[in-house]
Chains A and B, each alone.
Chain A
Amino acid sequence: MHQLVEALLVSVLVVNFFVLGTSRLNAVIHASAVEGVLLGATLLCLRRDWEALALASGVIVIKGVVIPALLRGAMREVAIRREVEPFVGFTTSLLLGALATGLALLFAGTLPLAPAQAGTLFVPTALATVLTGFLVLTTRRKAISQAVGYLVLENGVFLMGLTLARALPLVVELGVLLDLLMGVLVIGIIINHINRELSSVEMDTAKLSSLQD
C-alpha cells in the first residue's frame, strides 16, 4: 500500500512536468484531469471509510470530469488550441519546475515531519505541485492555461490536506471542492466574456492591461 501511494505521488510529479512542458491546451486540460484522478486514488489508498469514499468520488468526478469538461467547453467556445509565446519558454519553465521540485524536497527536509509522513514523498510532492501551479499561472498568457495553473496549485494544496486524515471534516472538504467548482464556473464565464470583448482569437490576458497607475 505504501509503495502504491509513493507511485501515485511520483505520477503526480510527472504530470506536473507534463503540464509545464506542453503547449496544446487540450493536453494540459487532460493532464489536470489525470492529476485529479490520481489525487482521488491516493485518498482511497490512505483511508477506506465511507467518508473517504464519498470524498474520493467527489474529487474524481469534479476534478477529473466536470472541471475539465467546463474548461474544454470554454476552449471550444473561444476557438484556441495552443498556448503561444508564454512569458517564459517551455524549456525554461521545465527547468524552473525542476528547480522548484528540488527546492520543495529540500524545504520539506528541513521541516520536522510526523512519523506517518517521514521518509515519504507526501509533503515534497504537495509543495512541488503548488509551486508548479504557481509557475504555470504566472508564466502563461492564455486565460485557460492560467485556470489550469490554478487547478494544479489547488491540487498541491489538496495533497497537503491528505496528510491531515481526520482534521478536515467531510463537510469542509466538500465545501472546498464546491468552491473550486464554482470558481472554475465563474472563470469559464469570464473567459467567454474576455473572448467576446476582445473579439480576438488570441484571447490574451496580456491584453488586459488598460488598468494601470
Chain B
Amino acid sequence: MLLALLMVPLGAALLALALPTDRLRAALLPVGGAVQLGLVLLALRLPETVSLGGWLALDGLGRLILLVVSVLFFFSAIYTPRYLAQHAAHSNRVFVAGMFAFLAMMTLVSEAHHLGLMWVAIEATTLTSAPLIYFEKSPRSLEATWKYLVLCSVGIAIALLGTFFLAYSALQVGLSPSLALSDLLRDAPHLSRPWLHTAFVLLIVGYGTKMGLAPMHAWLPDAHSEAPSPVSALLSGALLNCAFLAILRFFQICGAAHDAGFARHLMILLGLVSIAVAAVFMIRQRDYKRMLAYSSIEHMGILVLGVGIGGAAVFGALLHVINNGLTKGVLFLSAGNIHLAYGTKEARGVTGALRRIPISAALFLIGFLAITGAPPFGPFLSEFTIVRAAFARGRYAVVTAFLVLSFVILVGMGATVLSMVHGSPPGEDSANEIRPVREPASTVWPIVGLASLVLLLGVFVPGPLANLLHHAASLVEVSR
C-alpha cells in the first residue's frame, strides 16, 4: 500500500512523459490526482503498516501531511488544465511530469521513517518543483527559480549536516549510529547532548529554509509570486508542510531525549520572528501574490510557535496544518483567477473584482477572512486553540506578541484585499452596467470545494480526523 502510493504518481509522471499531446497530459492531471486521493483515503483507514524493513511507515503525523498534500493536489489538478490551456505556447510535458514527480516525492516525505531517506525525498521535492516554478519562462520566473534552487539546496545541505550530527550523537556515546526513526526514538535518552543540540540548530536552520521560516525565507516570496498559481498553492499548502514534518521528526527525537525545552525555545523564537517579518512586509505590499507568500511565512511561524508552546497548542498547530494548507489553496487559486482576469499581479491594478469576476473575488475574500482567523472558518478554531493553550501554559508575553502581530497583519492584508475586490474595475464606469466576465467551471469549483472544507472544519472536526489529530499530537507531545 505504501509503495502503491508512491508508484501511482511516479507512474503518472512517466506516462506524462510518454503521452503525445498537451491535451492528453493536461487531462491526466485530475485523473492522477483523483486516483492518488482515493488511495490515500483508503490507506488512512488501514492500520499502520511498515514497508521496506521499517524505512516506510505511515504514522499519525505522516497521515496528516499526506492527507493535506493529496487533497490540495487533487483540487489544484482539477484547476491546472485550464491554466495550461491559457499558456498553450509552452509544451506542458515537463510541467505535468514534474507535478506528478513532485507529488510522489511529497508522498515519500510523509512516509519516510528513515531520516536519510527523508532527506533525499525533501531534496527531490526541490528538484522536481523547480521546473514548475520556471514554467512561464520569463526572466522573473528564472530569477525566482534560481533563488529557490540555490537557497533551498544550501538549506537542505545544512539539514544533511544536522542529520549526520544527530547520528554522530549516538556514535559518540558508543551506540551504533542509525538514522532509522524507530532506533533514534529508542536510543534518544542516551544521545550525546552537545551533538544533539548542534544537530537541532542545524536542522531547524536547514529545513527551516525550506519551510520558509524567517530569516531564512528569502526564496519564498519570489517563488510563490512567480510560479503558476496552482503551483504556488502546492508550494504553500503542501511543500512547506512537508518541511514542517521534517522538523517535527527531529522534535520528536528531542522530546524522546527529554530535552525538548531547548528546541521549544528555538521554535518559539523563530515562530515569532517569522510572524513579525511577515507582518512588516505585508503592510502596503504591492504584489498580491507576494502578500499571500508572506502570509505563508506567517502561518509557518504559527505552526512552529504552536509546537514550541506545547500542550494543547500542538493539537492546534496540527489542525492548523490542514486549515492553513486548504485556505492557501483557496487564496492562491482565486488569486490566479484574478491574475488571469486583470493581467497584473500589482494590487493597484486590480479594483472592482467583485463586479468583474464575482465568484472568484468572493472566494478570495472568503479566503482572506479565513486566513486572518475570522470565525466560523477553520483557521479561527486552530489559532484559537493555540492561543488558549498559550494562556493556559502562562506564555503571556508570547501570546500578546502573537495577537498584536496578527492584528497588524489583519489590517495590512485587509487594506489590500478590500481595495482589490471593491470599487469598479479599471476602465469601466461604475454608472454603466458592468457585465461580469464568464468564469469557467473548472477554475471555480476546485476553489469552492476547498473553501467548503475550510468552512466545514471551522464548524466541526469530523470524528476520524479528530482521532488522527489526537494520535499525531501524542507523537509530538511526549507526556512526562
Which one of A11-19, A41-49, A55-63, A164-172 is at the interface? Answer: A164-172
Which one of A2-10, A24-32, A81-89, A205-213 is at the interface? Answer: A205-213
- Quote the shortest CB–CB distance from B148 to chain A (angstroms): 10
The answer to the question of A193 belonging to the interface, with a C-beta cut-off of 8 Å to chain B, is yes
Residues 65-103 (chain B) with a chain A CB within 8 angstroms = none
The answer to the question of A157 belonging to the interface, with a C-beta cut-off of 8 Å to chain B, is yes
**A204 to B226 Cα, complex, angstroms:** 20
Q: Which residues of A contact B114 (CB under 8 A)?
A: 172
Given contacts A150-B150, A210-B140, contact A113 B134 (CB under 8 A): no
Given contacts A167-B171, A197-B139, contact A190 B145 (CB under 8 A): yes
Task: Tell whether, in the assembled complex, residue B160 and residue A176 are in contact, meaning their CB atoms are under 8 Å apart.
Answer: yes
Q: Is the interface of A mostly helix, strand, loop or mixed?
A: helix
Binary interface encoding of chain B residues 148-166 relative to chain A, with 1 for a CB under 8 A from any of its CBs, else 0: 0110011001101100110
- Quote the shortest CB–CB distance from B120 to chain A (angstroms): 4
Binary interface encoding of chain B residues 99-128 relative to chain A, with 1 for a CB under 8 A from any of its CBs, else 0: 000000000000000101101100110110
User: Of A150, A182, A193, A209, which one neighbours B127 at CB under 8 angstroms?
Assistant: A182
Task: Tell whether, in the assembled complex, residue B179 and residue A161 are in contact, meaning their CB atoms are under 8 Å apart.
Answer: no
Given contacts A163-B171, A193-B142, contact A146 B164 (CB under 8 A): no
Task: Tell whether, in the assembled complex, residue A160 and residue B164 are in contact, meaning their CB atoms are under 8 Å apart.
Answer: yes
Q: Which residues of A contact B145 (CB under 8 A)?
A: 190
Q: Which residues of A contact B230 (CB under 8 A)?
A: none
Which one of B36-44, B192-200, B240-248, B266-274 is at the interface? Answer: B192-200
Task: Tell whether, in the assembled complex, residue B179 and residue A150 are in contact, meaning their CB atoms are under 8 Å apart.
Answer: no
Task: Tell whether, in the assembled complex, residue B117 and residue A175 are in contact, meaning their CB atoms are under 8 Å apart.
Answer: yes
Total A-B pairs, Cβ < 8 A: 130
Binary interface encoding of chain A residues 94-127 relative to chain B, with 1 for a CB under 8 A from any of its CBs, else 0: 0000000000000000111110100000000000
The answer to the question of A54 belonging to the interface, with a C-beta cut-off of 8 Å to chain B, is no
Given contacts A114-B172, A169-B116, A175-B120, contact A137 B149 (CB under 8 A): no
Q: Which residues of B contact A169 (CB under 8 A)?
A: 116
Task: Tell whether, in the assembled complex, residue A157 and residue B179 are in contact, meaning their CB atoms are under 8 Å apart.
Answer: no
The answer to the question of B177 belonging to the interface, with a C-beta cut-off of 8 Å to chain A, is yes
Given contacts A190-B145, A213-B281, contact A179 B123 (CB under 8 A): yes
Q: Which residues of B contact A111 (CB under 8 A)?
A: 194-195, 198
Task: Tell whether, in the assembled complex, residue A164 and residue B168 are in contact, meaning their CB atoms are under 8 Å apart.
Answer: yes
Which of the four size classes fits the interface of chain B?
Answer: 35 or more
Given contacts A183-B123, A208-B146, A211-B226, contact A168 B167 (CB under 8 A): yes
The answer to the question of B255 belonging to the interface, with a C-beta cut-off of 8 Å to chain A, is no
Binary interface encoding of chain B residues 271-282 relative to chain A, with 1 for a CB under 8 A from any of its CBs, else 0: 000000000010
The answer to the question of A79 belonging to the interface, with a C-beta cut-off of 8 Å to chain B, is no
Q: Which residues of A contact B154 (CB under 8 A)?
A: 134, 137, 150, 153
- Quote the shortest CB–CB distance from A131 to chain B (angstroms): 11
The answer to the question of B13 belonging to the interface, with a C-beta cut-off of 8 Å to chain A, is no
Task: Tell whether, in the assembled complex, residue B165 and residue A211 are in contact, meaning their CB atoms are under 8 Å apart.
Answer: no
Task: Tell whether, in the assembled complex, residue A164 and residue B171 are in contact, meaning their CB atoms are under 8 Å apart.
Answer: yes
The answer to the question of A187 belonging to the interface, with a C-beta cut-off of 8 Å to chain B, is yes
Given contacts A172-B117, A183-B153, 8 further A-B contacts (CB under 8 A): A110-B194, A111-B198, A112-B194, A116-B171, A153-B154, A161-B164, A168-B167, A205-B146
